[in-house]
A = this chain, B = another copy of it.
Amino acid sequence: MPEFLNQMDTPDLEAMGIHGWPYGYSDQVRFHELDPLNHVNNASYLSWFENIRIRYLQDYGLSSYGGRDDDPQIVVRQQSADYFAPMFRDERYVVTARTRLLKPSSLIMDYAVHSGGAVRATCSAVLVSLEQDGKARRPHKDVAVKRILARDGAEMA
């Protein structure tokens, strides 16, 4: 898998003063993400969290997002976002992700948007691992569990 554009790891993030996150990428606000209030629209943040979530889940080996039967379908069951400050046109930001809690066939991830030395928004998502039929639960792959515990220091429940 080629590296994500502008992907960042712990040392990259630390160098920017962003501590406690193992995984991130940097980007810039686009015109079409703004709404008539001249702010980034609330829904656009979810796309940013989706960008990093899918990359993370592929990279850590939880799912290839290829739709094959030997692979789970990971779905968002719940997500909660806090918006601390508006974001503006051309603003540069970093999105970060980590797993907080790991269960046999689900996990809780945290995300944050950093800009100008502050956190602009955070999000917490409950993800469920399903068979490709979208119904039965499918346990995580061992290799992915090991990586998450090692890299993120996630708790196992």
Contact = CB atoms under 8 A, between A and B. Distances in A.
Interface stretch (A85-93, A97-105, A109-117): A85-93
Interface string A1-24: 110111000000000000000000
Interface residues of A, number: 42
A51 B30 contact: yes
Interface string A51-69: 1001000000000010100
A155 interface: no
**Highest count of chain B CB atoms <10 Å: which of A4, A34, A46, A80:** A46
Contact of A26 (B1, B5, B30, B82): B5
B78 A78 contact: no
A108 to B, nearest CB: 13
Contacts of A31: 35-36, 50-51, 54
A92 B42 CA distance: 24
Contact of A27 (B5, B36, B43, B80): B5
B36 A34 contact: yes
Interface of A: 1-2, 4-6, 26-28, 30-32, 34-38, 41-44, 46-47, 50-51, 54, 65, 67, 73, 75-83, 86, 89-90, 92, 134
Given A1-B90, A31-B51, 6 more contacts: A5-B28, A6-B6, A31-B54, A32-B47, A77-B83, A79-B80
